[in-house]
Amino acid sequence: MSCAEPPREDRRALIVGLGISGMAAAIRLHQIGWKPIIVERAPARRTGGNFVIVFGSGRSAAARLGISPHLRDRRPTGISYECDRRGRRRVGMNFTDLPGEAWMVLRGDVEAAAFHALPDDIEIRYSTTPMKIEQHAGGASVTLSSTANSGDTTVRTEEFGLVVGADGLRSTVRKLVFGPDEQYLRRLNHMVATFEMPEKLTAVAVQDGAWLVEAGRSLIIYPMRDRMPTAQLSYRTEDVDAEFTEPAAARLRRMFGPAPYGSILGEVLDAFDRTDQYLFDSVEQVHMPRWYRDRVVLVGDAAWCETMYSGLGVSSALAGPELLGTMLARHPDDPGTAFAEWERALRPFIDAYQGYGLKQRFFFTPENRRELLVRRGVARLIHTPFTRTLLTALTRGSKTARLKDQDISAGI
């Protein structure tokens, strides 16, 4: 994907974050003639990650970014069960029942595919973070701190025509330019822990899934083709800050006790004790009145985190930056107009995606017994033969399904 013309000096773009949205932004900016430079806080590219879904909106963007050829669907082939701690189980909602044309993959699969698609001349600096961002006419002066060379800290200030904050839920760029987290993060009073199982569960076939859902907490086993299953533990909390006062493994055992764990939950907690590759974090959304300020723009979780309950985080992390590049190409000498047009086109989708995250939360982790009973009723209806056929047809033709699969850039 070569540039039509060499990038001008004022088209150096700083991308903060080597995640999905950061790499998507770098690829798209490179396509339209910018010179992206990616900085990443971590000392190396992170691998692994939780189960994710890529809907049609993300797949369309991935195709234009050149990511699709390096990505394949890991949709499972087995059965999904509703289980309890006593070992009882019945057939539950299967992942193939999801509306829309979805790919089921690991986050690490998408990140590896995006990394493979990065042009060779894009510079990546690890162990590097922005300390200060000062904007001026035509660009921004960014002070960067790096410990990449033998642990010694070096600090230098560079000029960029554009800064893209793709550095996640607790974005440094957002803090530096837009203000503290408290202004934009909205806690849902839930915690989530997810990791890839090191081995199959004794009572569940490797191609099968399992849902152990109780009032205020849940365990979901996501099967993955050609990989070990991913486990996701989620629970409600009244004090998010308290959840970080002890090790994650200890906290999970406390929150899923005191009742006996049973076989499946017990094996998952034992596996979590042994792993050092996991996510343990609060469930929060990001709500901002505007995703850009002068020459600084936010994408992905830094701008609009929908939560994993929505299932649309990866799709928007691909589609949002891809559309941003399209608008910058349309208004090459007027970034302000490009950003405004980009946000105007994208925000209705993000608003809907965030709404799905709130609505679908109860299905993953019902907060109380009433929600649990409603969820059980819906799950049973899905597996009544006539109702299952009807609901599947209705959901796949619903507005929700259409938005998930709609190519955001189409017709723009």
Please write the tens of the pLDDT for every residue from 92-114.
776 666 555 688 899 999 999 99
Range of lowest pLDDT (200-204, 328-332, 394-398): 394-398
Quote the mean pLDDT of the chain. Answer: 90
Amino acid in position 6: P
Residue 399: the pLDDT is 64
Q: Is 70 exceeded by the pLDDT of residue 273? A: yes
Residue 98: the pLDDT is 57
**Is residue 87 classed as helix, strand or coil in its secondary structure?**
coil
Q: What is the percentage of the chain residues whose pLDDT exceeds 90?
A: 70
Q: CA–CA separation, 326 vs 152, rounded Å?
A: 39
HSE of 213, CA atoms in CB hemisphere, 13 A = 27
Mean pLDDT of 310-331: 96
Please give the torsion angle defined by the CA atoms of residues 343, 346, 351 and 354, in that order, rounded to the nearest 10 degrees. -110
- CA separation, residue 89 to residues 209, 210, 218, 264 (Å): 11, 9, 15, 11
Q: Which helix (H) or strand (E) holds 340?
A: helix 335-364
Mean pLDDT of 331-341: 96
More reliable by pLDDT, 374 or 33? 33
Partnered with residue 187 across adjacent β-strands are 284
Q: CA–CA separation, 51 vs 108, rounded Å?
A: 9
Query: What are the structure tokens assigned to 399, written together?
Result: 């507005």
All domains of the chain in start order, with CATH: 12-74+100-185+285-365+385-405 (3.50.50.60)
Residue 351: the pLDDT is 95
Residue 6: the pLDDT is 40
Residue 373: the pLDDT is 85
More reliable by pLDDT, 189 or 148? 189
Residue 121: the pLDDT is 96
Q: CA–CA separation, 333 vs 350, rounded Å?
A: 27
Q: Is 80 exceeded by the pLDDT of residue 355? A: yes
Report the number of secondary-structure helices (H) and strands (E) in the chain.
12, 18
Q: Is 90 exceeded by the pLDDT of residue 236? A: yes
Residue 359: the pLDDT is 86
Mean pLDDT of 290-317: 96
Q: Is 80 exceeded by the pLDDT of residue 411? A: no
Q: Is 90 exceeded by the pLDDT of residue 259? A: yes
Q: CA–CA separation, 153 vs 147, rounded Å?
A: 5
Residue 287: the pLDDT is 98
DSSP string covering 234-276: EEE-S-TGGGGSS-HHHHHHHHT-SS--HHHHHHHHHHHHH-S
Partnered with residue 155 across adjacent β-strands are 145
Identify which of 309, 219, 222, 223 has the alpha carbon closest to the alpha carbon of residue 270: 219
Q: Which residues contact 399 (CB under 8 A, 6 or more apart)?
A: none
Identify which of 137, 111, 106 has the alpha carbon closest to the alpha carbon of residue 26: 111
Q: Which residues contact 276 (CB under 8 A, 6 or more apart)?
A: none
Residue 404: the pLDDT is 84
Question: In sequence order, which ranges of 2-69 are alpha helices (DSSP H)?
Answer: 20-31, 56-65
Residue 97: the pLDDT is 60
Q: How confident is the model at residue 390 (pLDDT cuts 50, 70, 90)?
A: very low
Q: Is 80 exceeded by the pLDDT of residue 296? A: yes
Q: How many Å from the N-terminal Cα to the C-terminal Cα in the chain?
A: 22
Range of lowest pLDDT (152-166, 313-327, 397-411): 397-411
Residue 151: the pLDDT is 72
- E strands, 162-226, where? 162-165, 185-196, 209-214, 217-224
Residue 2: the pLDDT is 36
The total of other beta-carbon atoms located within 10 Å of residue 6's CB is 8
Query: What are the structure tokens assigned to 63, written together?
Result: 């195709």
More reliable by pLDDT, 2 or 142? 142
Mean pLDDT of 265-273: 97
Q: How confident is the model at residue 23 (pLDDT cuts 50, 70, 90)?
A: very high
> What's the DSSP call for residue 5?
S
Mean pLDDT of 230-240: 96
The burial of 254, by beta-carbon neighbours within 10 Å (0-12 exposed, 13-18 middle, 19 or more buried), is given as exposed
> Is 55 within 8 Å of 312 (Cβ atoms)?
yes
Strand-pair category, 162-165 with 185-196: unpaired
